[in-house]
Structure 1
């Protein structure tokens, strides 16, 4: 495989009408979960991606497996748990801004992923590991699994990318979140915080200072996502800003950061210049915000090339 990742997938019910969730009558079903979003995104670009997790022995679990099979994501290490259920979430429909999301995930099958479920040969078969900070918050066993996987991949000489993907509501305290997230970030090759995440995690407000905070601790490349302003990248050899793409209408921002990770990491794995990889990340992020589902807007290779070729607003 080119990329492997792990985490929790949830069935997502998206409101068909604008308004608070408690007033919505009809929903459409989709799939959610940061890591599964990236696995789908990589697969659509033609990379061989794998996703590791647990799902319940229920209709939601069956839906997730079926959906990933259709997306050509490797699910050889997706385990079916007969004791615990698959998580799900509800997401509101909005005309502007971020939607309201309510989770039903506590005690889910995925949260019981542990080191006992680690398959050495499976992870060794991938050349890159993509991680987010979400599994670190779901349970102690999942956090230990994450640490073990990262350590193993580093020892095997693989590269590791890390998107903090902060979810304060899942943590006991901000202090714990900052400490645990940064510890994993320091052991990663590529770190991809949003600007507000970077400010929280480092105490700095400028993208260059946020990047330097991680570079001084062993990270090779830091890319700070700036939303509609594009992104800033910095390594030990180069740095710069890359403008965003103009979007006529933003439908839903959820999934844009995961799409950015897909563009950036796929570019780095293919050996294109860092600046071009960041531009690819911006492109997929722009496509993502124009659809309601988390990964619905992720492009195929041809769709991505056409978007970059014909879009205005790029450098």
Structure 2
């Protein structure tokens, strides 16, 4: 635990122990794996902690070696795990990931049904200290895990709003976890409407809103209460539309060229880390999207979901290589 003081940023969701194939081929053929942790929510939490923010993580893990591995890893990354509960009756979720070739998305097999994190509920927030809370980052994964975790998601966004904190929301669609597409769409759009900054991918935005263009997707969420919408466009960069600091803006920011794409998983989370951290640093929206693009590009250069996320020193070095962009 990095501090006894109340955290400034709160994140929540499911962290899983991940086994990444050390050679290419189907999981049926691979014999050797490397153990890591995975989870979109923890990727963002780790990224923000590496940049020096006091980030608390709310979740559940099983009373098993995998859960202890997750706790130790998160604490080593500087996360405040005071709200991480060890569940004695449900296991830690697992996943196995193939080694993809040629920049393709790797295939993943999940073992998360009945996981400890799926048992998250409103009671897990009973002892929250929000006295110093400045920001809540949420995704669409916790509400997909179970009805009780969905209730917790709504509750935490309401509590953060009441505490005067800003809220970012990344849909992070997991259609296979939902009972229906309609339920997924309605739930996530309701949560997004409670956020200040909404960060969908282009395909996600199209599915959730029924709009085809970045402009249409952005207007959908702005009309429902968001202050800004930042759309992830993959290699093409990012699109921004919104009003922050009293100034209404709309613009595209091109992505950064990557010579070799190694692993695409976690790129969207890295984009969220860059964008959210920059806004929390007080930078303007254009600089925020630029940082999001930069970190997204760095993420695809390495194996692993969060290994490419920089600390402050590394971020400073990265931006220094583009003096004409990062003024």
TM over 0.5: yes
Alignment match of 1:198 (pick from 183, 201, 205): 205
Structure 1 residues 121-145: Cα deviation after superposition (integer angstroms, max 9, x where no partner): 4244321000000001000110001
Asked if 1:244 is matched to 2:255, the reply is yes
User: Contact (CA 8 Å) 1:3, 1:47: kept in 2 or not?
Assistant: yes
For residue 311 of structure 1, report the CA deviation from its aligned partner.
5.0
1:157-172 paired onto structure 2 within 5 Å: 157-172=164-179
Runs of 4+ in 1 over 4 A off after TM superposition: 311-315
Look up the match of 1:77: 83
For residue 302 of structure 1, report the CA deviation from its aligned partner.
1.5
Look up the match of 1:262: 273
Alignment match of 1:288 (pick from 296, 299, 305): 299
Asked if 1:87 is matched to 2:93, the reply is yes
Look up the match of 2:196: 189
For residue 314 of structure 1, report the CA deviation from its aligned partner.
5.7
1:274-285 paired onto structure 2 within 5 Å: 274-285=285-296
Distance, in Å, in 2 between the alignment partners of 1:291 and 1:249 is: 10
Aligned residue pairs total 315
Asked if 1:101 is matched to 2:108, the reply is yes
Classify the secondary structure of the residue corresponding to 1:197. helix
Asked if 1:176 is matched to 2:183, the reply is yes
Let me know the Cα RMSD of the aligned residues.
1.4
Q: Could you list the runs of 5+ residues in structure 1 that have no partner in the other structure? A: none
User: Contact (CA 8 Å) 1:247, 1:286: kept in 2 or not?
Assistant: yes
User: Contact (CA 8 Å) 2:260, 2:301: kept in 1 or not?
Assistant: yes
Classify the secondary structure of the residue corresponding to 2:101. coil
Structure 1 residues 86-143: Cα deviation after superposition (integer angstroms, max 9, x where no partner): 0010000011210000100010111101111113542443210000000010001100
Higher helix proportion (structure 1 or 2)? 1
User: Contact (CA 8 Å) 2:133, 2:163: kept in 1 or not?
Assistant: no
Classify the secondary structure of the residue corresponding to 2:169. strand
